[in-house]
Structure 1
Amino acid sequence: MEKQQTVVNSAVYSGIALHSGARSAVRVQPAPENTGIVFRRVDLPGRPEVRALASNVVDVRRGTTIASGNAVVFTVEHIMSALNAFHIDNCIVEMDGMEPPIGDGSSLPYCRMLREAGVQVQEAEAKVFTPASPLYVEGGHTRLVIVPGPELRIACTTSFPGCPIDPQFYEFTATTPDAYETEIAGGRTFVDFGDLQQLLAMGLVKGGSLDAAAIIHDGAIICKEALRYPNEIVRHKILDIVGDVYLSGCRITGTIIAIKPGHPKNVELAGMLQKEIMAANNA
């Protein structure tokens, strides 16, 4: 029987936020059993909080935004991905702004932060949910399905026209934090050059740079360092799925098959899982 976990100590990571361009800091704090993942805006009067749940998602444009009242937090997927991979069930995530730092565009900075904080096993049994039957979402070119299984396994394929390695495929089984750090956490954010002007017009990516993302342009990938994996794009897509699915509210087991995934359908699937979890709890 698996037990719930939290962090041992507080730990901080600071840097530039991707979309706002502001400097920000995030601090993880231990939390009691059955707390879940809670984001706290310490920069606002009353230090308002928002639970990391699909039902609190208010925007999925180029990232996942959650809100409750005036507690709004942008781009939670990378830190949520690391928390899921480390099996952190209970944690207070304190924010001094509306968006966590983007770092190098991967979740490695958050893995390092969690390593620094340490993992504390608690007494209560971990909440682990496996859907009783397949759940399916689709829209445009995107398809996601989760089928019952004993562990979280993600098989993902994606395609970016103009990318020198296209299409890309990877399959990942979320067994340990080490496996996640080695196979998935290093995947960086990618953006198509043709989308940049639109994103800037939307008031996004103000903190974007080649330190925080790679650009696909004219049959090439432009980045500050060499690719970390030949199929880095699809591994980042899996990173996002691991984070978005954790908005279901607890650990999930099952096999997810994803074709050209993105935040809108990732979150829709997480919402379906959250509803099934709530129904099971009320049964």
Structure 2
Amino acid sequence: MADRILKQTTIREEVSLEGVGLHTGKEVKLTFKPAPENTGYVFRRTDLDDKPEVEADVSYVVNTRRGTNLEKNGVTIQTSEHVLAACVGLEIDNLYIELDASEPPIMDGSSKFFVEALEKAGTVEQEADREEYIVNEIICYRDEESGSEIIAMPAEEYQVTTMVDFGTKVLGTQNASLEHLSDFKREIADSRTFSFLHEIETLLEHGLIKGGDLNNAIVYVDKEIGEETLKKLRVAFNREDISVKPNGILDNLTLHYPNEAARHKLLDVLGDLALVGTRIRGKIIATKPGHHVNTEFAKKMAKVIKAEKRNNMPKIDLNQPPLMDVNDIMNTLPHRSPFLLVDKIYELTDSHVIGVKNVTMNEPFFVGHFPGKPVMPGVLQVEAMAQTGGILALKSVPDPENYLTYFMKIDNVRFKQQVVPGDTLIFKLELLAPIRRGICQMQAYAYVNGKLATEAILMAQIVKSK
């Protein structure tokens, strides 16, 4: 059974919440706003001139100390992971995340309040199909120094398992798993951030966690705690009294789950892998995860996805009858020999098309390009892709025989492989946005011998013929 193609989503209306940043201690207002299709997650700094934007993209990660921090053109976003985890966990595709400071509010140290805000805003389905990267082969990243490792393997849906080992008596080995994203709200979202006492002392000495208190961070006491340390903590957390419970947790904070630390690490993995920029279908197994290894893995996965997208030739059976043969194509396109450069169409949906051109020595351009060394001109490869894309564009009108498509723009053209007599060119074109006012923008690929030969972004206009 074929998978149902899911549509992208955004929120129905904007929604805001306020709090303080964990490390800056500054009051901050965060507003989620609806975003158009194919936007992804975009942070917007409303406190700065021109409201600069920072996309949730792993290429903008600048450091991972105490959170995943992004920077673009000098504009920073700190501790992005809890907000992004909520977006992924609720399966929302496109959002503007406006902030009037560099750091989202820490709230209770989890994703709970972001989830509640997004649910209050409601979701709406958009026209464009949801892009999903399907893991077909194992992808692995290992940090030899820490022993941390993250693996992605094939699975029927997005799943995450975290395995943590802190090597301390108060917090030893823990595991957590999320089998279905639909369980995120119930099982993971309210898992709070945590720290060890020795880390808290270091952060306080460096003027960090100014917005911290005992309600937004679980503090595990992993060392003897003296009166001088208690005094500092009372001042830092503005509490008259602080104690250590028998379970080794500072003060009287009650765990939501015995393995809340492992669940929060899972939350962090979801948030950090949102920076890959596309939905994932596969199982993630993270051993001793942290923001550094999470984002390094995200970088590796993003490179794999980009490479596969460029080189992943469509899997079609050329021996099967096509969806459209050359006669059907001529009933749609006005082109004729010797300028009809697509022979068959094998797939045609509202958003993509796959076509084929069999290149023979009888092509008229081989007479002069080049004698003794016949090579198909790159400009004709682009034209062949454009004709294939014309079939996709004309599918949007009820009477395609009464319309023409005209080139408007060609961008990012790259030629990777020579095309010679005897080759079979396979074209795949995908809409980059829904067709509006007759304007059609497509990502086009041409493959030969299992390799990417040509790629380009094409823009055309559908015009009624006289």
Please give the range of the TM-score, normalised by the shorter of the 2 chains: over 0.9
Cα distance, 1:22 vs structure 2: 0.5
Report what 1:190 is aligned to. Answer: 194
Find the aligned partners of 1:34 and 1:205 in 2 and give their Cα distance: 35
Report what 1:94 is aligned to. Answer: 98
Pairing partner for 2:289 from 261, 264, 271: 261
Report what 1:172 is aligned to. Answer: 178
Report what 1:199 is aligned to. Answer: 203
Report what 1:28 is aligned to. Answer: 32
* 39 and 224 in structure 1: CA distance in 2 versus 1, 3 angstrom threshold: farther
Q: Does 1:17 align with 2:21?
A: yes
Unaligned runs of 5+ in 1: none
Q: Does 1:85 align with 2:89?
A: yes
SS at match of 1:282: helix
Report what 1:239 is aligned to. Answer: 267
Pairing partner for 1:251 from 260, 263, 279: 279
Alignment length (residue pairs): 281
Report what 1:40 is aligned to. Answer: 44
Cα distance, 1:163 vs structure 2: 4.8
Q: Does 1:107 align with 2:85?
A: no
**225-234 or 193-202: bigger deviation:** 193-202
Q: Output one character per residue of 1:97-119: Cα deviation in whole Å (capped at 9) or x when no partner.
A: 00000000010010011011111
Q: Output one character per residue of 1:104-157: Cα deviation in whole Å (capped at 9) or x when no partner.
A: 001001001101111111111101112331111122131111112221111211
Report what 1:141 is aligned to. Answer: 147
Find the aligned partners of 1:61 and 1:204 in 2 and give their Cα distance: 11
8 A Cα contact 1:163 1:220, kept in partner: no
8 A Cα contact 1:154 1:173, kept in partner: yes
* 103 and 223 in structure 1: CA distance in 2 versus 1, 3 angstrom threshold: farther
Cα RMSD over matched residues?
1.4
Q: Which amino acid aligns with 1:225?
A: L
Q: Which amino acid aligns with 2:75?
A: A
Report what 2:127 is aligned to. Answer: 123
Report what 1:211 is aligned to. Answer: 215
Q: Which amino acid aligns with 2:202?
A: Q
SS at match of 1:221: coil
Larger radius of gyration: 2
Pairing partner for 2:250 from 206, 214, 222: 222
Unaligned runs of 5+ in 2: 223-246, 312-466
Cα distance, 1:258 vs structure 2: 1.2
Report what 2:63 is aligned to. Answer: 59
Report what 1:72 is aligned to. Answer: 76
Q: Which amino acid aligns with 2:303?
A: K
TM-score, normalised via structure 1 length: 0.95
TM-score, normalised via structure 2 length: 0.59
Find the aligned partners of 1:168 and 1:239 in 2 and give their Cα distance: 14
Find the aligned partners of 1:223 and 1:10 in 2 and give their Cα distance: 37
Relative contact order: is structure 1 or structure 2 higher (C-alpha 8 Å, sep ≥ 6)? 1
SS at match of 1:123: strand
Cα distance, 1:280 vs structure 2: 3.4
* 171 and 43 in structure 1: CA distance in 2 versus 1, 3 angstrom threshold: same
Q: Which amino acid aligns with 1:131?
A: V
8 A Cα contact 1:131 1:276, kept in partner: no
Cα distance, 1:36 vs structure 2: 1.0
